[in-house]
Each structure stands twice: as structure tokens, then as C-alpha cells.
Chains A and B, each alone.
Chain A
Amino acid sequence: MKFKNFLILMIVLLVSLSACAPEPIEEPATAEEEQTDEPVESVEEVDGLPQACLDDAFGCAVIPQGETIKIGMGAPLLGDYSMFGTDISQGVSLALQVDDGFEGWTYELVAEDTGGAPEAGAAVANKMVTDPTVVAIAGHIFSGSTEAAMPIYEKAGLPMMSPSATEPGLTQQGSKVFNRLAFTDADQGMFAANLLFSQLGFSKIAVMHDGGSYGQGLADVVQAEFEALGGEVVAYEAITPGEADYVAPLSAVASTGPEAVYFGGYAAEAIVMMNQWSQAGLDDVLFFGCDGTYGVEFTDKTGANGEGAIAVSLVPPDSEEKSAFDQQYGEQFGVEAGELSAFSWSAFDTGGVLIAAIEKVAFVEGNNLFVPRGALVEAVRNSNYVGLTGLVKCDEVGECNASGPTFYQVVDRVWLPLE
């Protein structure tokens, strides 16, 4: 009797297996169907689609009157990386808010929590592509989450503009939709190594990172470039992020006698390290950070200990627009721009770039706003926009920061551009 039971189950399993098997034969067809899935749905909603939409490879996003043009975002809004997500979503939403809209349609940011995890990044992406009024993605924030989300947006034809995903490999995969404002670790590392060796004249440095993909990527580049230039990297050490005490690894680094310490990582660890600088016996050693360590938080929280530290930012020195943004940001969110993360300004620009691109391709017909998706993907790639971070002009793989990094040094508790 029991065996019969088993047999039945096996048969069911087999049936479902065989049901599974032949399907991929029709795969090419279904795949295409899937790609044009959403536009087709919108076709049913609207009679007589404009020619531009029919021509477009991905069709159009159709936004009826009264609805908003949505820009999606996958960001760590909860959990221990929530500062980044909160800050960037605030920056982008401010950009959408100050814009006066397009022909009566306003913009709205739809930020979903990823917790910073790649898995959740893919989940959010899958959610974004099901909303037909989402036209572009600001983000994602971390490289892992971006990596996981890219193929999904690629299929749906949603252009991405990340203010903060720096992993060099992201733009090397031939993605049409992915662009970023952040400069890659490779570029930044090269500039940093050059500065350290040629301009500042150091020959012995130590390289440290926080064990994350961002920090490690930078550290590796700096190490390689510095050695290529003829310098000596006397210590290479990683720390565990989120700890209270880095005296031990810093002391170990100090004992090798470096002239400067390069650190790839974020402000939280950099601040703790700076405050323990003299405890570790690194008094006369220069701290050289990256764009993750730049920002008011660093100067605020290191005080006198942070004096002389160097960091990088894609934000050019103070401009009028920047001070206006800083003021508005502070008023609206109760924290200073750059206090939560170093990405407030690039987040604002991300929003600006996307809006500019949308306004280039969108058009109104009847009561609907049409955004041709394929055209938008191209428009973002062809952006030519001047924002807080300077010129935004994407190259053929989607590296959009055209103005290069600016180096800053803490002098009297303020970041001043380094000559």
C-alpha cells in the first residue's frame, strides 16, 4: 500500500518534470515576449500608441495624468548600512523635489530597502520592473547589490545611474543600462598612488582596507600602482569593520615604519582609526583616505586628531550651488549634507542627470506622458550635464564622472582642496 503511495508521488514528480522539460524549446519566443511584456500591457491600456513607442526596443512607459514619473532606487535603508541609503535617497529626492516637473508631471522617488545585500538587491530590481511607471533607477548603492540587479534592469530596459557603486568590473560587462557617477576604484587608486609618490614624495607607505569590496579594491590598486611607480608598500593590513578599537592592527602597521598610511574604506572606521592614531604610535604618519572617508563627519568627529588627513572627493570645491544645496539639505533633513555619507552631492546629481535625460526623450500625447524606454537608456548614456560634482558626461561603458577627483586635506578641522 505504501509503495503505491510512493508510486503516485513519483508519477506526479515525473509529470511535473516532463512538464518542465519541453518548455525551454519555446524559450526564444517566450523570452522575447517577456522583454516586451510591459509595453504590451500598456498597449492594451492606451489606444493607439505613438509611433516612437512602437519603434522603441523596450516600448514606452505610459504615465497617465495625475500620476508621477517614478524613479526607482535600491538602497540599504535599514540595518547597519542605513546611513548610506538614507543619505542617498534624501539627496536624490531633493533633486526630484526642486525640479518643477515636466509638462505638469512631477517626479517621485521610490526607494526600496536592500539592507545592502546582493540578494535583496535582486528582489528590489524584480519589484521595480513590475511597476510600469518606474522609468529609471538611481542606484543601486553598493556594488554587490548593483551587480545582482543589473541583468534584471537590462532585460526590462531601465537605465541605471549609481552615485556610489565603484567596483571597476561593473562597467566592464557590456551593460547598456548601467552608468555611474562615482569614479571607479581603479581611477581613484591610480590618482592616489601618483599623488602619494610623485607629489607628496613618499617612498614607504602602508596600505590598509576595511575588508569590503570597495575598500579592498582601492587598496589593491594603490598597492599595485605605488609599487609600479617604484615605491615600497611596507605593510598591507585589513581591519574588521564596525569595531571599537583598531589600535592592534594600527600598531602592527606602525612597527613597519611607513611614512603614510593609505586607507580604503568608509568614514566610520577612518574616524576610529584617526582617534587612535597616536595611541598606535603613528603620530608623524600621514593618513590618506579615499572618497568614502571624505565628508564633514570625519572632521567633526576626529577634531584635532584628524588634522592633516587627506581624502578624495568627486565634489569640486565649494560653489554657490553646492552651498545652496547644503543649506536646503540641512533644513529639510535635519542633518548636514555629507554627515550621513560622502555621497549626498553625487546623489543630488544622479537625480538631476536622470531628470535631464527623461525630459530629453519624454513627450505628451493626449492625457498621457510617454517615456520611450530604449531612448531613455541611450539618453542617460549620452548625458551632458553640469552638476555639483562638475561635468557629467558618460563614456561608452557608462563611466560618467568627467571632472576627475579633487584631493582635500584637513586644515584647522576643515577640508581644504589640496594644491
Chain B
Amino acid sequence: MITAIKDGLRAGLITAIIFTFLILIGFTSVAANIIGDILGNPQVLNNETRLPVGNLLIFIALVGLFTGLVTLKKGSNPPWTDVLFRGLTGGILAGLIVGTVIYIVGSFHMEGVDFRAYLPNLGASQLGYLLFYSTPIAASKTYLLYFTVFSLVGALARKTLTMLTGLRNKLKSIKSQIIDWSDKKNFHSLVGNQLFQAGLIILVGIGLYFLPLVWGSYWNYIMGTVAIYILLGLGLNIIVGFSGQLVLGYVAFFATGAYTFALLTAPEPHAVGLNLWVAVGLSTLVSILTGLLLGLPILRLRGDYLAIVTLGFGEIVRILIRSDLLTPLTNGPKGVTNVGQPIWRGHVFSDVNYMHLLMLLVLAGLFIAKRLKDSRTGRAWIAIREDQTVAQATGVDTYKYKILALLLGAAFAGLSGALFASRNQFTGPEDFALMVSVNVLCIVIIGGMGSLPGIILGAFVLKGLPELLRELADYRLLAFGALLVVMMIVRPEGLWPGQNSKKGKMATFSNSLGEDNLEEKV
């Protein structure tokens, strides 16, 4: 019983905090609007500035249900009376806290206190809505009632669900069937079948060819960004995913590529007017050289030291580009405009051509990365990632291979930088902030370290999702940050882990311990 009350109170407290937070960031009315949209309720009542209260009540009810659901722990199956207690305590506590908050805030509001100087979301319209356009005391009573009732309903519903174990088992078996299926030999042989493979490739190729034609320019633009980030991800994956070197300044190579291309093709500030395809090659080359310059002295550093040094290098590049010192060379903070666009047989690329070019490059990049991964070189990299000391003792020249990884990664970045500048026809120092490096790193890790399909998925999640989340407007970055945390907790191995990584969690743990013990206390 005591645990029941404890669990209930904890759930109530958590929901109350979350709900209060949502009120304070103004999400409650947004959520109510979304609910209204879904249900087709009118947003604004006729000729009044009042919002429909029903939508808000539904949202509160949903939160109440959530409270009830979390009062029961996963996998537990307490008796009914216990469940009753859990639901009640949780709901009452949440309702009491939220009700009190609403009462206090509402009373102040009624007396004419303006909270917006400190909490901009507690404006008159929002507060009036939260008070259901009635008195604070009545409103807080409503909150208490709704939370209690729906928390109880939620708890009971969860219990009922748990009771239906048969259903759950069935689900489980389906789940395991799916996993089995992918593991089965015949599936592998099917995938391994050359004809099947070729057919699949052609089908996907046709799909990829036609998609940009029907998407429209907005989606071509977004998908183009995603494709560029896939290329970046592939490059960083060679460095971080394969060879295990944590590089936080990857943006430096991206910037080098973009600027080399821009300066060689734009009419200002230098008017070199180089052939575009030559410029692409040169940008890649310059990025590789930058990689060499950075890599030779610092690749002996390990782990987080390497991370901060490369981070610093990325910042150095950005600051230098925008500095007064290099303004004559780089055009400073204004950036370079009118960057050359790719031309093929005398015609400037349209967005569709561009998308096709990017797809082609992504395919080529995937192809190269895949082949590298399965080769002697790739094995050497992964060995370095797994245990650098042992890899070297097994005959791998770790320094050489780390530099090779950095150079190849830099080449990818340089190429994507050139494409980026040319597609936007503009490049400026603000495009190369630290967050770009962080985003690309997130792509590599969210997808699953070292996994190639994971990178594609990661790029979609990282660059595509915020665009999709635009509907959430102001809340999209908040949601994105929370999603990152949740994903790391729920699926640390990434969305599409490379082979064998499922048990990798423990493995690397023991490995890191091993590294600590390395300095053998003689």
C-alpha cells in the first residue's frame, strides 16, 4: 500500500511539474489548438476572442490519463484496490498542484498583475483560457476534478491492458517473428540473390529519379540539404564511426570546401571564374590538405583531447573567415554571393537536376564507404576504434590509418561544402557554426556508429525532422532536444545499428575499464 501511494504521488508530482512547465511555455493552448484541429472544432468562437474551452479540457483529460498510466510501473501487475489507490493519489496530487498554481496565478491575474515581464506566456488571453474564462477557484476545482477522474481511468485502463496478457504475448510473438524473419537464412539468401539485388537497385533508382520531379522545389531544397548532410555524415562516419576518432571540428573541412569553391567561381571578391567541375575537385583537394595540416600534429591525441582540439580548429576557421584580417580574401562576414552553379552542356542546373546530382553523389559515397568498410582498410579502422593499442600491436600502423580516415572524411566534407555553396549560390561564415559539427556527429551516432543505412536515417531525422516539426513552430527545437535525450536512453545503439552492436553496450564498458587498467600497476 505504501509503495502504491508512493508511486502514485511520484507520478502525480511528475505530471504536475510537466503540466506546469507546459503552461509556462504556453504549450497548453497550442496543444488545445492542435486537438481542435484534429477534431475539427472551431478555433475561435464566433465574433469573440475566446477560445473553445472544450479543446483544453480534452488536453487536460489526456494529461490526466497519462498520470494514471505512469502510476503503474512497467511489467507490474498490482491488485485492483492498489490500482485504485495509485490512480487516485496520482490524480489528486497532480490536480492539487496544478489547481493551486492556476489559483494563485489566476488570482494575481484577476487583480491586474501582469506576469509577462518575466513569464511572457502568461498573458491575458492565455490566462483567461486557462481559467476557462471563469473564476480562479472554479477553474482550479475543474483541474482537480479532471486530473483525479482521468488519472483513475488511466490507471484502471492500464491495469485492464495488463490483464489482457494474451494479447500482449501475441504481440510479443509477432515481434519476435519479425526479428526472426530478418535473421533467417532464406531472407539473407534472397537479399544475397544477385538478380533480386539488381532488381531492387533498379526499382530504387527509378523511384529516386522520379521523386524530385514530383516533389516541388521546397522538398527538393529540404531533401537536398538532407543529401548534403548524408555526404557529411558518411565522411564523419569514416572518422568517428570507423576509426573511432572523436572529431568535433568537422565543419572546418566543410567550410574550407565551400569557401574554396565559392572564391574560385564567384565574380566577387576575386573573379577567378574557374570551371565549376574543376573547382569542385580543387575544393575537395584543399579540404584534404587542411585535414593533413590538422591531422599530422594532433592525431596522436586521444579521445576528448582530440575532440576539443578539433572543436577549436573549427572555431578558428570560422573566426578567421569572418575576421577583418581575411576580409580581402574571403569577403568577411558578408559572405560570398553569386557562387557558380553547376552547368552541364550550357544549361544551368535546375533544382531537379541538382537533386539528381546529389542523389548520384550520395550513392557513390555510400558505395565507396561500403567498400572501404569491408576491406583491409576498414577492418584496420574498426580495430583501431575497438582497441587502438591492440590494433597497433596486431600490425596496424594506427597513426597512418587515422590520418587516412581524417583525409577521406575531409574529402567528403570538402565535396559537400562545394555542393552546398553552389546550390545556395551563397556562402557565409554563419553557415559554419559549431552546431553544424554537432549536428553531423549526431547524425552518425543517432543512425548507429559505423552503420551506413543508419547515416541516411540519421540525416533524415536530424535535418528532415526539424523541417517536419515546423508545425510545432516555436516548440520544435525544444522537442528535438528532448527527443535526442530520449532516443539515447531508449536506443543507445542508434536507429539502425551496424552489425553486432546490440550487445556492444556492455562490451565497450568493459573495454573502457580495460583501458584504465592498462597502465599496469606493477
Contacts and interface: CB of A to CB of B under 8 A. Distances in A.
A and B touching (Cβ–Cβ under 8 A):
yes
B180 interface: no
B221 A126 contact: yes
Interface string B427-450: 110110100000000000000000
Interface in B169-207: 194, 197-198, 201-202, 205
Interface string B342-363: 0011111110110011011001
B218 A127 contact: yes
B387 interface: no
B381 interface: no
Given A118-B426, A118-B428, A123-B225, A20 B356 contact: yes
**By DSSP majority rule, is chain B's interface helix, strand, loop, or mixed?**
helix
A390 interface: no
Interface string B331-349: 0111101000000111111
B322 A211 contact: yes
Given A9-B201, A24-B353, A116-B430, A213 B334 contact: yes
A334 B116 contact: yes
B431 A119 contact: yes
Interface stretch (A25-33, A348-356, A401-409): A25-33
B349 A213 contact: no
A356 to B, nearest CB: 26
Contacts of A333: 116, 120
B304 interface: no
B135 interface: no
Interface in B195-235: 197-198, 201-202, 205, 208-209, 216-218, 220-222, 225
A21 B344 contact: yes
A252 B357 CA distance: 51
B324 interface: yes
B277 to A, nearest CB: 14
Given A5-B194, A123-B225, A13 B426 contact: no
Given A30-B350, A130-B218, A118 B201 contact: no
A113 B470 CA distance: 8
A16 B323 contact: no
Interface in B81-135: 114, 116-117, 120, 123
Contacts of A19: 209, 356
A198 B478 CA distance: 52
A63 interface: no
B323 A8 contact: no
Interface stretch (A43-51, A143-151, A358-366): A143-151
A126 B209 contact: no
B21 interface: no
A20 B197 contact: no
Interface residues of B, number: 61
A88 to B, nearest CB: 15
A27 B345 CA distance: 11
Contacts of A229: none
Chain B CB within 10 Å, residue with most, of A17, A216, A334: A334
A1 B195 CA distance: 12
A142 to B, nearest CB: 9
A77 B356 contact: no
Interface string A216-232: 11000000000000000
B333 A119 contact: no
B424 interface: yes
Given A13-B364, A20-B353, A20-B357, A118 B333 contact: no
Given A30-B350, A118-B335, A8 B430 contact: no
Nearest to B322: A211
A18 B430 CA distance: 36
Nearest to A27: B347
A254 B485 CA distance: 48
B333 A216 contact: yes
B482 to A, nearest CB: 15
B426 A144 contact: yes
Contact of A169 (B120, B197, B337, B367): B337
Contacts of B363: 13, 16
Nearest to B433: A117
A129 B217 contact: yes
Contacts, number: 147
A25 B350 contact: no
Interface string A151-180: 110000000000000010100000000000
Given A12-B201, A213-B332, A24 B349 contact: yes
A212 interface: yes
Main secondary structure of the interface of A (DSSP, over half): helix
Nearest to A210: B333
A147 B262 CA distance: 15
B117 A334 contact: yes
A40 to B, nearest CB: 13
A9 B202 CA distance: 9
Given A118-B426, A122-B424, A17 B123 contact: no
Contacts of A1: 194
B163 interface: no
B205 A12 contact: yes
Contacts of A17: 360
Contacts of A240: 319
A262 B83 CA distance: 70
B37 interface: no
Contact of B347 (A5, A24, A147, A213): A24
Contacts of B120: 333-335
A119 B344 contact: no
A418 interface: no
A23 interface: yes
Nearest to B337: A147
B162 interface: no
Contacts of B467: 123
Nearest to B478: A78
Contacts of B345: 21, 24-25
A27 B197 contact: no
Contacts of A213: 332-335, 428
A245 interface: no
A69 B360 CA distance: 40
A379 B449 CA distance: 55
Given A12-B202, A30-B350, A77 B334 contact: no
Contacts of B377: none
Interface string A286-329: 00000000000000000000000000000000000000000000
Contact of B350 (A34, A112, A126): A34
Contacts of B431: 117-119
A148 B422 CA distance: 11
A147 B333 CA distance: 13
Task: Return the 3 tightest CB-CB contacts between A and B, nearest first.
Answer: A334-B116, A24-B347, A213-B333
Given A118-B424, A144-B335, 6 more contacts: A19-B209, A24-B348, A77-B473, A123-B221, A130-B216, A148-B424
Interface of B: 114, 116-117, 120, 123, 194, 197-198, 201-202, 205, 208-209, 216-218, 220-222, 225, 319, 322-324, 327, 332-335, 337, 344-350, 352-353, 356-357, 359-360, 363-364, 367, 420, 424-428, 430-431, 433, 467, 470, 473-474, 476-477
17 contacts: A9-B367, A12-B205, A13-B363, A13-B364, A16-B209, A21-B345, A23-B352, A24-B349, A25-B345, A78-B474, A117-B430, A129-B218, A147-B335, A216-B334, A238-B323, A334-B116, A335-B117
